[in-house]
Amino acid sequence: MKVDLAIINGQVFNTFTKKFEKKNVSVVDGKFYYITADEFENLEADTIVDASNKFLTPGLIDIHMHIESSMTSPAIFSEAVLTHGVTTVVADAHEIANVFGMEGLGAFFSQPSTMDIYFAIPSSVPSTIPELETTGGFIGVEEVKQLLKHPKVIALGEAMNFNGIVNEPDSLIRQILRTVQTERPFMPLEGHIPRVSGLDLAKFLYAGLTADHTHQTPESIYEKVTSGMFLEFQKKSITPENVRMVVENNFYEYVAIITDDVMADDLLNGHLNANVRLAISNGMPAEQAIYCTTYTPARRMGFQDRGAIASGFKADFLLLDDVETLDIAAVYKDGKLVHERGREIQYPAEKPHFPAHFYQSIQCRPLTPEDLRIKVKQSEKAIVNVIKIAEVGTFTEHVQRKMRVVDGYLDWENSGLSLIVVMERYGKTGDIAFGFVENALEEKGAVAATWAHDHHNLMVMGTSAADILAAQKQLLDMQGGYVVTQNEKVQAVCPLPVGGIISDAPIQELGTQLKDVRQAMIALGYRNTNEIMSFSTLSLPVSPVIKITDKGMMDVRSQMMIPLVEGE
């Protein structure tokens, strides 16, 4: 028989024994055909690859991620991430949905890609309710019903509204969950369940949510897995103590390794493959780490045709020079070579297409010096509520600080705190909210972005009014992205002209720009394991503990608003 491709003499990963075995592999019409330890006697191959001293593994599968976190389009993302061995993703495009709603999702769904991109329905657009944050788009029950009919939609994206899930039986998110459970009863339902345990965890499970991807601890891993929840480990959860909990309890069947968010500058160096290496370096056996990025994620999402090197499965596979370091020599998609080590990323011939109005989406006025003068009733000292940033991850703490009052105005520029301003940017309300932040900027300067989870309103934070004004002006001029100013001069920019959240530039150019922004933030004193994500999630009102939207600061758990100044 004639086959398209034969790979001989390789060490092939057997998913079902979790061992590498010397095998010969054949491919016909993009699928694995015959896999045997014996020599091919009756097969004639168009192409033969001698894989001596190499290891074959299935292509990596990332089932919880957001393409927009890499600030690029699906078409460009596909080509960049294939170089890192990822052949299938399930993308929750709730960022573009928050900006442009169903039109934004349609723009993503229609883009061509070499890798397989499936989608999860954005369940939280907005992440809370319209009264707490203004978004450009909205996904309700009727929109969900439409999306359930789309062939690329295979899951419900992360349900985030804690209050709506735990305390409000008829909330929008509960209505969405019931709709999906009725119309697609076997569809995986993804959760966003940080620091939730006991009765509250039971309420998430009772609502139908069976997976969590947020920051884990050994205790949360044990409780969630033994309660029936599937866990998806992003980078910040892949720690020695967490890996030890999985290894010692043999929890591999209930775990997948995912990325969630990979910034454009980090994408230059790795994607899901980097998290596999991290898991191995933190004590997970390499075979189990491969299993948890191929077969368990495939099974979680209901794929019947990938995740293993087996007859009839899609011929998505990697050739590795070394298993422990996941050193990729070549990547094959549907039996075709799509990347070899040392080859540049192969971008689409034309720029990704988006509607013209996607490039003119920032609709808010310039700030004025008077906007930043905060008048109070107190005469000498005021008690202000403050968002205190953690140095690790995206968690925050609610603290109160005393601030001097001069001539009836808060003297915030000399307080040691940063002023944060969130402006509604969709031309709907014109709302402006103010807050104070601790552990942010130490030097005189400002950081501004329209990439502000998840509503993506315009957000600017600084230690001086002049720098805030300069950063916001630059952001308006370039129709979105990131800006850093210092001493009233622009230090770094990363333009994101598509909806204020996406660039159509090559990843190398985009990654360099974002790296410059990151370094400029560090120069201003910003300290975090991921400076950009930390800043951009100060506006995420479902991430503990205190965050700010265009409506003001709020307690995430109770969804109660918090005043800027006590007693005002």
Q: pLDDT, tens digit, for every residue of 464-500?
A: 999 999 999 999 999 999 999 999 999 999 999 999 9
Q: What is the pLDDT of residue 346?
A: 82
pLDDT-derived band at 379 (thresholds 50, 70, 90) equals confident
Q: Give the start-to-end residue ranges of the domains of the chain.
A: 59-307, 362-562
173-186: b (≥16 Cβ within 10 Å) or e: bbebbebbeeebee
Candidate from 34-48, 244-258, 393-407, 471-485 with smallest mean pLDDT: 34-48
Say if residues 258 and 271 touch (Cβ distance below 8 Å): no
In this structure, the number of other CB atoms found within 10 A of the CB of residue 427 comes to: 12
Burial bucket for residue 375 (CB in 10 Å: 0-12, 13-18, 19+): exposed
First to last CA, the chain: 82
Cα–Cα distance for residue pair 387/437, rounded to 1 Å: 5
* Average pLDDT of span 83-87: 98
Give the residue from 138, 133, 62 showing the smallest Cα distance to 94: 138
Rounded Cα distance between 75 and 117, Å, is 10
Amino acid letter at 521? M
Element (H, E) at 402: strand 396-406
Q: Using the predicted structure, report yes or no on whether residue 350 has a pLDDT greater than 90.
A: no
- pLDDT at residue 392, as a whole number: 84
**CB neighbour list of residue 206: distance below 8 Å, 6 or more residues apart:** none
Residue type, 173: I
pLDDT at residue 412 greater than cutoff 80: yes
In which residue are the tokens 């024994």 written? 17
- The β-bridge partners of 47 are 5
Long-range contacts of 338-346 (CB under 8 A, 24+ apart): 338/82, 338/114, 339/82, 339/83, 343/83, 345/79, 345/80, 345/83, 345/506, 345/507, 345/508, 346/79
pLDDT at 433 over 90: yes
Q: Computed from CA positions of residues 295, 296, 298, 302, in that sequence, does the dihedral angle turn out positive or negative?
A: positive
Sign of CA dihedral 55, 59, 61, 65: positive
CATH annotation of 59-307:
3.20.20.140
How many H helices and E strands in the chain? 15, 28
pTM, two decimal places: 0.93
What are the tens digits of pLDDT across the range 19-70?
999 999 999 999 999 999 998 888 899 999 999 999 999 999 999 999 999 9
Distance CA 553, CA 283 (A): 40
Which residues in 194-326 belong to E strands, given as ranges?
211-212, 230-233, 255-257, 317-322
* Rounded CA separation 475/492 (Å): 11
Sorting pLDDT into bands at 50, 70 and 90, what band is 567?
confident
| Average pLDDT in the chain | 96
Mean pLDDT to the nearest integer, 74-80: 95
> What average pLDDT score do residues 307-328 get?
98
